[in-house]
Amino acid sequence: MAGGIFTKIADIGADLMKIVFKIKEDDARNPGVIADCTGDNAGDSVGPSADGFETYGVTGVALISFILLAVHQPLVQVQLLVWIFAMRVMMVIASGLSYFLNAAFAKARYQNADHMNFEAPLTTLVWLTSLVSVALTFVASRLLIPSIGGDPTLWWKLSLVITCGTLAGAIIPEFVKVFTSTGSRHVREIVTSSREGGASLNILSGFVAGNFSAFWLGMTMMVLMAIAYGVSTTGLVGLMVAPAVFAFGLVAFGFLGMGPVTIAVDSYGPVTDNAQSIYELSLIEQVPNVRAEIKKDFGFEPNFARAKENLEENDGAGNTFKATAKPVLIGTAVVGATTMIFSIIVALTRGLQPELLSNLSILHPPFLLGLITGGAVIYWFTGASTQAVTTGAYRAVEFIKANIRLEGTTRASVSDSKKVVAICTQYAQKGMFNIFLTVFFATLAFAFFEPYYFIGYLISIALFGLYQAIFMANAGGAWDNAKKIVETELKQKGTPLHDATVVGDTVGDPFKDTSSVAMNPIIKFTTLFGLLAVELAVSLTAQRGATLSLVLAGAFLVIALAFVWRSFYAMRIETAVRTRTR
């Protein structure tokens, strides 16, 4: 979360200088460029990688909890647990094998090419990993669980359910590219609308792309989960309660079969972004006799103009694949959360007793109120994370504009660059502090208030968060690559069209790299921590009565609301602007 705030403060601060001072991308005289490079590592690489690792853990915990709570026979429990762990190892092996195969193929095909489609090897890697994982899933399942509970067909049925998730890890990126790739008609629509409508129509067209993407990706996830549900009705009913929930958990598990590759292609984005920045910061073209030196040491004649074009085109591919990773990660979080929520439901209803299950209905007022509350919290979180970026970016821009020197120097001073990094760090930490403590105390408050209210809350943040994250991630990716088309294909840097797309890109920055990606750990933390909190609340209520639980809920809610207040009112931009009064 803090990394996402940091990187977008720096990115916006650096990008807006292109409009204000008409300087080039990653100009070495811009003190914000170093902070931007640092943010690429913190927010776009380290953060999503940690998020993916966390998703592995949460989904594993969810499935293990389900197996132990919902599967009837101890022998079947052991078989499924061994199978789950073996599948996880197999998926890592499949990812590594696919990587080496794809590397060899790409090297043979593109090593001496003058021009290439930078997205092609990444697309091949994703699909190759998916297909290898699917094949190994069926082979390993046939060897490990040829018969479960006396049914010799379940091995391929369970494999088919996991395959729904594994294929989703490849299909969803293809849909994302429809809305975010430099070749996408949606992205080109943004460029077209910007020609006459400027930044206003640029932003509106990006909203259209994001909303359409949420529809199509949501429908894709629904279809794959529906297939998994259908398979779960053909033999799992006798082994466990609620086999559909187990199937949904396996879909999330299949998603994670693509986890290593998803993280790899996501990290490709900040690598290409920083490569472009390092090239500009090096000022290599201004080094005396550099062409002769390169020719002597490396045996080729450098073409700096072509090098810059390659770096910018490659950055466009990085933008696209950063966008493809986000819905996969948020999808695994939501589907995995579904399994974890079911584990909470099993515990609350004492093994799904019918008289208690009736509370999981909109006819039970606390459950309905929880659904409403979850949506409210998601929109607060979106605003709070964006507010932290807005205030931090204001301070960064204010400092850069006051201290940038464009005459008589070729580089920004080290002290100025460090100051921008300090500004980004300060506001990232402030934003993280307020947001995390709000989520922490809100989770405690809602869990202690009423357990079925809390279940409604968990379901709501998962569903609201899913669509909010997909919309924001893909709208941001579309705005980013619209700017890239203007820079690389149309070669119109410094024009009003470029200015309009830069504005759109800066709007999209917190969309795609702050609010959307941080939705994932928010959902997972709330669900995992909520499992412990609601058990504690139920136990305390049984021992001490409901009054104490309600008092604690009220106290926790007051603390949470205090941090909600701080997330905006204590993060506002303090400025000397005053309005005249009569």
186-218 pLDDT, tens per residue? 999 999 999 999 999 999 999 999 999 999 999
307-334 pLDDT, tens per residue? 988 998 898 888 888 888 888 888 877 8
Please say if the pLDDT value at position 270 is more than 60.
Answer: yes
48: confidence class by pLDDT, cuts 50, 70, 90: confident
Q: How many whole angstroms separate alpha carbon 44 and alpha carbon 272? A: 11
487-502 pLDDT, tens per residue? 889 999 889 999 999 9
Q: How many whole angstroms separate alpha carbon 55 and alpha carbon 193? A: 38
- Residue 444: how many CA atoms within 13 Å on its side-chain side? 18
Q: How many whole angstroms separate alpha carbon 370 and alpha carbon 367? A: 5
The mean predicted confidence, pLDDT, of the chain is 90
CB 320 within 8 A of CB 178: no
34: confidence class by pLDDT, cuts 50, 70, 90: very high
Please say if the pLDDT value at position 100 is more than 80.
Answer: yes
CB 106 within 8 A of CB 86: no
CB 69 within 8 A of CB 535: no
CB 116 within 8 A of CB 110: yes
507-565 pLDDT, tens per residue? 999 999 899 988 988 888 898 888 889 989 999 999 998 999 999 999 999 999 999 99
Angle at 48 between CA 46 and CA 50, to 5 degrees: 65
Q: In terms of C-beta distances under 8 Å and separation of at least 24 residues, what long-range contacts does 547-551 make, across chains too?
A: 549/448, 549/449, 550/448, 550/449
Q: List the one residue out of 469, 468, 473, 485 whose CA is nearest residue 189.
A: 485
Q: Which residue has the tokens 């931009």?
A: 573
What is the pLDDT at residue 581? 41
Q: How many whole angstroms separate alpha carbon 87 and alpha carbon 83? A: 6
Q: List the one residue out of 278, 409, 513, 399 whose CA is nearest residue 17.
A: 399
Angle at 128 between CA 122 and CA 132, to 5 degrees: 150
DSSP conformation class of 23: P
Q: How many whole angstroms separate alpha carbon 570 and alpha carbon 226? A: 45
What is the pLDDT at residue 230? 94
CB 122 within 8 A of CB 321: yes
Please say if the pLDDT value at position 582 is more than 70.
Answer: no
What is the pLDDT at residue 580? 42
Could you tell me what percentage of the chain is helix, strand and coil, using 3-state DSSP and rounding each to the nearest 5? 85, 0, 15
Q: Between the CA atoms of 389, 10, 401 and 17, what dihedral angle is there, to the nearest 10 degrees? A: -110
Q: Which residue has the tokens 């995992």?
A: 528
What is the pLDDT at residue 575? 61
What is the pLDDT at residue 121? 94
Please say if the pLDDT value at position 220 is more than 50.
Answer: yes
- Give the pLDDT mean for 454-472: 94
Please say if the pLDDT value at position 375 is more than 90.
Answer: yes
Q: In sequence order, what are the residues at sequence separation of 6 or more whose Cβ sits closer than 8 angstroms to the Cβ of residue 99?
A: 125, 129, 261, 264
What is the pLDDT at residue 350? 81
- Give the pLDDT mean for 256-281: 87
402-433 pLDDT, tens per residue? 999 999 899 999 999 999 999 999 999 999 99
385: confidence class by pLDDT, cuts 50, 70, 90: very high
Please say if the pLDDT value at position 576 is more than 50.
Answer: no
Residue 528: CB atoms within 10 Å: 19
Q: List the one residue out of 402, 331, 370, 334 whose CA is nearest residue 168.
A: 331
